[in-house]
């Protein structure tokens, strides 16, 4: 058999092994996430039975609910029951709302996605150029300013920025809306279509609702995006400094290429793959860390839902939210791997 005949077969098996390993790693990670979620649910210092029946219930009532929840079964039986319910999309009923947990998450999660998406657009849109500027002007005034602002934004508690933002831009200047996704008198005027209020208000032509929603979202999105902006700016600066010291950059300058071409067409192009991971992880961190901002701004999203149910001791909702955050990070990592292959052909299988 010639080498030309064997080459396609070799590539086929190589790609098959690579795809099998990729899928296998996802399955193992998801299984580990299920185990971790189950353990967290069992280790929480909250009695799910008391959360349902209350402190005044009789022992007979307590025992009946205890058995109905399957807590009298061995742990391995409880775990397989938990996995079975998850695979069927059944997370039980939330104590606060009285609705299935899945329905509650579908209702509140778009608000967090909308807030987090605008935040990461602002964070990456400002953080990347600032990081490039700091690297190009290394150890000069722009670099010192970017590093100082990044350190300030990264180390200051997000909720403090939120409170100060409300005090300045809402109470004093009146430039932003107050709490919630929209002003009270616009609440309920737009029925959910996509769940994203800005998009839904455009689809139905409710422009007053759109401008009210935009006025309400820009401040929490900016505050939430400050942390990611600082992180992305610092990492971009580090990546760019490394690239600007490479020989190919010196060669490009010797050839007479302009500063802009050297920076954006050569140096920046080689850090895109690294920035994909940074931005993806920052986005996941925004969605996970939106709890404080949603609390400060009374934002009816995923973070507020998780907080309220955690305070009520509703383990069905808490475990579902924990699992969702984990799945989200796994999905973002998978997306990063895919974008790696798009931006860097060297990572594709031969």
What was the pLDDT predicted at 183? 86
Q: pLDDT tens for residues 261-274? A: 888 888 888 888 88
Closest of 314, 270, 156 to residue 224, by C-alpha = 156
Q: pLDDT tens, 34-90?
A: 887 777 777 776 677 776 666 777 778 877 877 877 777 787 788 888 888 888 888
> What residue spans define the domains of the chain?
3-87, 104-345
The H-or-E segment that residue 333 falls in is helix 315-343
CATH topology of domain 104-345: MetI-like fold (1.10.3720)
Q: Is the pTM of this model over 0.85?
A: no
207-244 and 141-155 helices cross at what angle (nearest 10)? 120
SS3 state of residue 93: strand
Evaluate whether 110 touches 200 at the Cβ level (below 8 Å).
Answer: no
Judge whether 162 and 296 are in contact, CB under 8 Å.
Answer: yes
């Amino acid at each position: 058999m010639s080498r030309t005949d064997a080459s396609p077969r070799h590539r086929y098996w190589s790609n098959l092994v690579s795809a099998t390993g990729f899928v296998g790693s996802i399955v193992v990670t998801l299984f580990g996430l299920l185990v971790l979620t189950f353990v967290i649910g069992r280790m929480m210092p909250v009695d799910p039975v008391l959360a349902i029946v209350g402190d005044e219930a009789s022992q007979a009532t307590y025992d009946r609910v205890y058995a109905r929840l399957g807590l009298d079964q061995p742990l391995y039986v409880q775990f397989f029951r938990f996995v079975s319910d998850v695979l069927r999309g059944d997370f039980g009923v939330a104590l606060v709302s009285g609705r299935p947990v899945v329905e509650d998450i579908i209702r509140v999660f778009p608000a967090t996605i909308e807030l987090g998406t605008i935040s990461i657009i602002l964070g990456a849109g400002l953080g990347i150029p600032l990081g490039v500027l700091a690297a190009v002007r290394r150890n000069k005034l722009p670099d010192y300013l970017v590093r100082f602002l990044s350190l300030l934004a990264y180390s200051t508690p997000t909720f403090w920025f939120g409170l100060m933002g409300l005090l300045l831009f809402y109470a004093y200047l009146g430039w932003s809306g107050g709490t919630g996704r929209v002003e009270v008198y616009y609440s309920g005027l737009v029925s959910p279509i996509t769940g994203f209020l800005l998009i839904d208000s455009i689809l139905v032509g409710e422009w007053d609702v759109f401008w009210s929603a935009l006025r309400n979202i820009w401040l929490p999105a900016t505050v939430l995006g400050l942390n990611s902006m600082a992180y992305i700016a610092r990492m971009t600066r580090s990546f760019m400094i490394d690239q600007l010291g490479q020989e190919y950059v010196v060669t490009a300058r010797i050839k007479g290429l302009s500063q802009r071409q050297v920076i954006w067409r050569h140096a920046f192009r080689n850090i895109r793959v690294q920035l994909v991971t940074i931005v993806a992880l920052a986005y996941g961190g925004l969605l996970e860390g939106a709890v404080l901002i949603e609390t400060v701004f009374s934002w009816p999203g995923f973070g507020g839902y998780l907080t309220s149910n955690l305070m009520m001791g509703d383990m069905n909702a808490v475990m579902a939210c924990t699992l969702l955050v984990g799945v989200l990070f796994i999905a973002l990592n998978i997306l990063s791997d895919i974008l790696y292959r798009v931006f860097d052909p060297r990572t594709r299988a031969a």
